[in-house]
A and B are shown apart, each in its own frame.
Chain A
Amino acid sequence: SSWWSHVEMGPPDPILGVTEAFKRDTNSKKMNLGVGAYRDDNGKPYVLNCVRKAEAMIASKKMDKEYLPIAGLADFTRASAELALGENSEAFKSGRYVTVQGISGTGSLRIGANFLQRFFKSSRDVYLPKPSWGNHTPIFRDAGLQLQAYRYYDPKTCSLDFSGAMDDISKIPEKSIILLHACAHNPTGVDPRQEQWKELAAMVKKRNLLVYFDMAYQGFASGDINRDAWAVRYFIEQGINVILSQSYAKNMGLYGERAGAFTVICSDAEEAKRVESQLKILIRPMYSNPPLNGARIASIILNTPDLRKEWLVEVKGMANRIISMRTQLVSNLKKEGSSHSWQHITDQIGMFCFTGLKPEQVERLIKEFSIYMTKDGRISVAGVTSGNVGYLAHAIHQVTK
């Protein structure tokens, strides 16, 4: 007999299931709108030119493969903090922050979660927006924290339930942890406007909450890195010492290289040093030290003026293609004769769009049109191209008219 007889089969990943079914489909018109990775207008993965250039520079330098420090590549972590906080940020210039390299967004979130479990004794509760990225819940749970929720998405309007959010947040017990998506909310694409962010900041300050920002799409959402980081920077300016997770998977297309960072804004540089020492103690028994390749590519891009300029253009290009697909989808739906309002498609931002489609409608899209998405009606706009947006509009109209 086996030690593992009682081990249950883990449930299949819902998003993976979408891709698996898509692969099996033989329909030439099939579309995979579950994919969480950017695709170009030909539906192909896109390796940024600035990434290729950085890689060529790396190849020519013939560097060794010695272990990175536990906290990661210093040039990368510094540039990462500056990218998020802004070069004129008081917090950045005074050094009252610590940034450690993490394994892309997930790894950075997990470092933060483990840190909170160990050092944030005021509360075990993490408040997530409803809905949030599916992996947030198990990450915090595995770190030993508990999950709560605040209202966020309004399915009636396919936009932000701002009064519901403010109401719920006003009732969160003091010194709890609240997670906010910095931009391009996943999965809804619904972000607060700047005026709403200001009210949210005032509220979390009033409730004395610990703010955890998840920023996985800086630059990728609006095309402007400063605009996408506005909320993070505003909160810090308001005296809220946030903690922050960053990912370079989407905005630099570095998905499989796992480049990310975790930051804690501290009272002063001395506190930052103490926090850093504890983060290292957490990281060492997880994987000792982080992988170099992705961080080095990102670092070279961020720290080389020409490449940084090129990157900003390319990330704007990706964001613009997404925005353009949203616009085309809506205009095509109108052309199809749809009487519904599809404004939320262009109001929403980032890779994902909560269409508002119901499970039965999603089912029909899959079965009758070979258009694959998750049951909640979420589509990855990255999977839409000028070649298939017409077909998508037609299909959506068929199942909603």
Chain B
Amino acid sequence: AYRTDEGQPWVLPVVKKVEQMIANDNSLNHEYLPILGLPEFRANASRIALGDNSPAIKENRIGSVQSLGGTGALRIGAEFLRRWYNGNNNTATPVYISAPSWENHNSVFVDAGFKDIRTYHYWDAAKRGLDLQGLLDDMEKAPEFSIFILHACAHNPTGTDPTPDQWKQIAAVMKRRFLFPFFDSAYQGFASGSLDKDAWAVRYFVSEGFELFCAQSFSKNFGLYNERVGNLTVVGKDTDNVQRVLSQMEKIVRTTWSNPPSQGARIVATTLSSPQLFAEWYDNVKTMADRVLLMRSELRSRLESLGTPGTWSHITEQIGMFSFTGLNPKQVEYMIKEKHIYLMASGRINMCGLTTKNLDYVAKSIHEAVTKIH
């Protein structure tokens, strides 16, 4: 979760404002939302992902399912694919997840009933970057119709995203091999500060004519973590196909949670549908993104000033909340035990944990770990 420079959680000012508006509105009640969710939320959420000028929206071939966070959106999408993709109830369809990925991805697809979960090459530890060739090879070799889970931006946990050119190559292979793109978009806006930039990959695939799913989370970019605000965007060939897909997703939702929680969706819908509030939100998002970007550049410059062995450009080349530092498990242990700096055994750090107050200490500690431990 995001932290301020004081190391505190941050409720976005626009969220506080909208919550007050909701609290003061006596015309509102707690009635059930429709099964697929609050209509104003669904439309706005998908519009944010696909862009105001999306051809898919104009052609009325998109659908949305309000979900319990990004996880809920992934699960509904996974349950639908298991029932209706590549035949009926074809649990054998391979599902490819990046190596590494968010660990819950695996569980979502296993619990949805898929039997063949595989990884695709992603992180190149040696060069501390994307293993594009390995990724493309895996896609060439994957059975046709395999499902690929793609991180829309700010890859978790590596922070390493394909460049636009690399995305184009990925899309070309996927189109040729009939692979299904299932995007996980948990950091739109939060990664670069720009909604459009962070959605570039998803929108490119749409423009290339793909049918795809995009699981969206508003936990980070709205700071609404515990309200469980998410959306599954469905892009199809035409209205009719999308309508049938939604009708079946409705059945899945009905036996999972019946209808989604209203509070968080109301906050997001109210914000996104008001130009004024939208602008405030955009500003709040940029505040968060900028702070993380600043911490990245500050950490990198300190490491380089210290002359810490190795290259540290990946700290600023990576994007989003997480960074794969490249520290090995022994060095990580040193950081934890000797310096009381907590990070994952993989060397992943949460950039939100950095503050102007602790930057020096963290940089020095990394320097020590790298020079003392091998």
Contact = CB atoms under 8 A, between A and B. Distances in A.
A116 B75 CA distance: 20
Interface string B1-13: 1000000011100
Contact of B236 (A4, A62, A105, A288): A4
A53 to B, nearest CB: 12
A65 B237 contact: no
Interface in A281-298: 281-282, 284-294
A292 B258 contact: no
Interface string A88-116: 00000000000000011111001000000
A7 B23 contact: no
Nearest to A290: B228
A285 B110 contact: yes
B372 to A, nearest CB: 35
B275 to A, nearest CB: 24
Contacts of A2: 211, 236-238, 241
B340 interface: no
A65 B238 contact: no
Contacts, number: 181
Given A62-B11, A258-B257, 13 more contacts: A3-B236, A8-B248, A65-B9, A65-B11, A66-B9, A104-B257, A255-B32, A286-B75, A286-B256, A287-B69, A291-B68, A291-B264, A293-B261
B49 to A, nearest CB: 19
A289 B237 contact: no
Interface in B115-162: none
Contacts of B88: 6
A291 B104 CA distance: 18
Contacts of A9: 243-244, 247
A10 B250 contact: yes
Interface stretch (A26-34, A122-130, A134-142, A199-207): A134-142
A110 B30 contact: no
Contacts of A105: 258
B248 A284 contact: no
B294 interface: no
B258 A256 contact: no
Contacts of B85: 3
Interface in B194-225: 211, 219, 223-225
A104 B30 CA distance: 13
A138 B211 CA distance: 28
Contacts of A51: 30
Contacts of A291: 68, 226-228, 261, 263-264
B165 interface: no
B69 A256 contact: no
Interface string B96-118: 00000000100110111000000
B280 interface: no
B227 A56 contact: no
Given A5-B241, A286-B75, A292-B226, A106 B23 contact: no
A65 B225 contact: yes
Contact of B1 (A5, A7, A66): A66
10 contacts: A7-B244, A13-B254, A59-B19, A106-B257, A142-B255, A258-B257, A258-B260, A287-B68, A291-B228, A293-B261
A106 B261 CA distance: 13
Q: Contact size class for A?
A: 35 or more
B31 A256 contact: yes
Contacts of B238: 2
Contact of A3 (B11, B19, B180): B180
A169 B11 CA distance: 54
Contact of A253 (B30, B33, B75, B260): B30
Contacts of A282: 111
Given A2-B211, A10-B250, A292-B226, A254 B30 contact: yes
Interface of B: 1, 9-11, 15-16, 19-20, 23, 29-33, 35, 67-69, 71-72, 75, 84-86, 88, 104, 107-108, 110-112, 180, 211, 219, 223-228, 236-238, 241-245, 247-248, 250-252, 254-264
A284 B32 CA distance: 24
Contact of A256 (B11, B33, B86, B250): B33
A47 B25 CA distance: 13
Interface of A: 1-10, 13, 37, 45, 47, 51, 55-56, 59, 62, 64-68, 103-107, 110, 135, 138-139, 141-143, 249, 253-258, 281-282, 284-294
A128 B152 CA distance: 44
A287 B75 contact: yes
A67 B223 CA distance: 10
Nearest to B110: A285
A51 B28 CA distance: 13
B226 A285 contact: no
A201 to B, nearest CB: 29
A138 B244 CA distance: 19
Contacts of B72: 286-288
B31 A255 contact: yes
A138 B258 CA distance: 11
A4 B239 CA distance: 11
A105 B32 CA distance: 13
Q: Tell which of A68, A104, A282, A292 has the most Cβ of chain B within 10 Å.
A: A292
Contact of B23 (A56, A65, A281, A289): A56
B252 to A, nearest CB: 8
A77 to B, nearest CB: 15
A66 B211 contact: no
B71 A45 contact: no
Contacts of A138: 251, 254-255
Given A7-B248, A256-B30, A104 B226 contact: no
Contacts of B35: 13
